[in-house]
Amino acid sequence: DAKTTQPPSMDCAEGRAANLPCNHSTISGNEYVYWYRQIHSQGPQYIIHGLKNNETNEMASLIITEDRKSSTLILPHATLRDTAVYYCIVRVGPGGYNKLIFGAGTRLAVHP
């Protein structure tokens, strides 16, 4: 599975968009980009995933560059409850056993 690089920490004002970057320059053609988050002391929570097209769901949007070497998770209107560690994970997608390799992630702090 490809490695990912994320900034260790970011800040965002409440109500503003939070844009969390992720570099995955060694991603393979069959590898997906997944995002999970972990709110303090809780188990990780799935947010979104994508292969090459941009994706949006009720929680966030995922923008993947055309060369697929980087991506950005967007929380359109951050709230205090979005304060968490965000993990960008790259792995082979559907079917079979899928191992999640968690790096250190980005610690997002949303402030009033």
Binding site for another protein (CB under 8 A): 32, 34, 41-46, 49, 87, 93-105
Cα separation, 76 vs 93, in Å, equals: 26
Contact criterion met (CB below 8 Å) for 66 and 59: no
| In the block, residue with structure tokens 């980005």 | 106
Nearer to another protein, 95 or 112 (CB): 95
Q: Please tell me whether residue 81 adopts helix, strand or coil conformation.
A: helix
Nearer to another protein, 1 or 14 (CB): 1
Nearer to another protein, 13 or 46 (CB): 46
Apex 38 CA angle, 35 and 39, nearest 5: 135
Cα separation, 53 vs 50, in Å, equals: 7
